[in-house]
A = this chain, B = another copy of it.
Amino acid sequence: MIIVLKPGVSDEQVNHVVQRIESLGLKAHLSRGTYRTIIGVIGDEAKLQSTPLQAIAGVAEVIPVLPPYKLASREAHPEPSVVDVSGVKIGGGYLAMISGPCAIEGAERLDAIAGAVKAAGANILRGGAFKPRTSPYAYQGMGEDGLKILRDIGDKHGLPVVTEVMDPRRVELVERYADMIQVGARNMQNFSLLTEVGSTRKPVLLKRGMSATVVDLLMSAEYILSQGNPNVVLCERGIKGFDNATRNLYDVAAVPQVKLLSHLPIIVDPSHATGRPDLIPACALAGVAAGADGVHIEVHNCPEQAMSDGPQALLPEQYAEVMKQIRSIAAVLGKKVSPLPAPVEV
């Protein structure tokens, strides 16, 4: 940690800061410059992280040197993590292809969509049973009935399933049905929910909040990891931008940033990032080329009848087309779509 003092700081103020540092068992290393005085803090920076040094008179700026996350950092785990979702691998050269409708709307429809995306190459089935809707008057999802349908259809097609949980009181319920639990963008800093999913051992798909920096995303992952659940997969799904031509702003550079800072896998979600089917294929390819460990794309066989987010879904045939190119680009980078687990004999 580096503490930059204000111009014209008094000796007394400097001493006060030094004493605070030393009282925590750390060493202060003073550099008096022509214009400014700076203090380098030597020792375990974590001890200082909850001390409001910046509030001390004479302090201009406090600059941390260590990242505020630990378990999520590359330093803690130099090799890339591979998260196993009931047999499907994510990371370490294996790509997750997560696909399905925005909301679960019934068994028949989900069955048709699951069959189509599996045929195209998807290896994880998604579908929302509890939907975070901006309007209290919009469709809120089928709840537990939806979870049952998702589980059944997943089993029928041999696809692991992922679904979102929004309420800490429902984590146990969702855990019972799903192979992977999704924490949505709006809940990325719902710390009660993060703590709750961290206390399970289910893989968690953690979506980046719309106003979260990459470090914020890693801090939220740290909440889950620090509860003992190591199975976290991050997801870039668009942040707030000023150009309303797209629903969000797809930050593809987050992918290599996460790779540099963390061992956790990261996938991309061009469906939510753009909200436009005409941009999803190009953005999916861009994500894979940037190094993503998977792609999340919403697919619906009749978007105009979808209960939620229909306009942003790809048709099954469009999805199949993108999958072909994803495979070719993955191959350029020496990666491949994770195979499905062998079907269990009954």
- Whether B245 lies near A257 (C-beta < 8 A) is yes
A223 contacts B by Cβ under 8 Å: yes
Asked if A132 is at the interface of the complex by the 8 Å CB criterion, the answer is yes
Shortest C-beta distance, A11 to chain B (Å), equals 18
Given A56-B304, A249-B249, A251-B250, check contact A241 B239 (CB 8 Å). Answer: yes
* Interface stretch (choices A88-96, A145-153, A173-181, A182-190): A182-190
Q: Are B168 and A52 in contact (CB under 8 A)?
A: no
Check B33 against A31 for contact (C-beta < 8 Å). Answer: no
- Which chain B residues lie closer than 8 Å to A246 at the CB level? 253, 257
Interface size class of A (residues with CB under 8 A): 35 or more
Least distance between A135 CB and chain B CB atoms (Å) = 5
Is A138 positioned at the interface, with any CB of B under 8 Å from its CB? yes
Residue A142 lies at the interface, judged by CB distance under 8 Å to chain B: no
B291 touches A282 (CB 8 A): yes
A252 to chain B: which residues have CB within 8 Å? 250, 252, 283, 286
**Any chain B CB within 8 A of the CB of A166?**
yes
B residues within 8 A CB of A139?
A: 50
Bound form: Cα–Cα A215–B246 in Å: 12
Taking CB as reference atom, which chain B residue is nearest A195? Answer: B136
Instruction: Check A241 against B245 for contact (C-beta < 8 Å).
Output: no
Contact flags (1/0) for A243-261 with B, using CB distance below 8 Å? 1111001111101110110
Are A214 and B243 neighbours in the complex by a CB distance under 8 Å? yes
Least CB distance from A277 to B in Å reads 9
Report the Cα distance A46→B33, complex, angstroms: 13
16 cross-chain CB contacts under 8 A: A2-B2, A33-B43, A35-B45, A38-B65, A134-B216, A136-B191, A240-B242, A241-B249, A249-B249, A249-B253, A255-B286, A256-B281, A256-B282, A289-B329, A328-B332, A332-B332
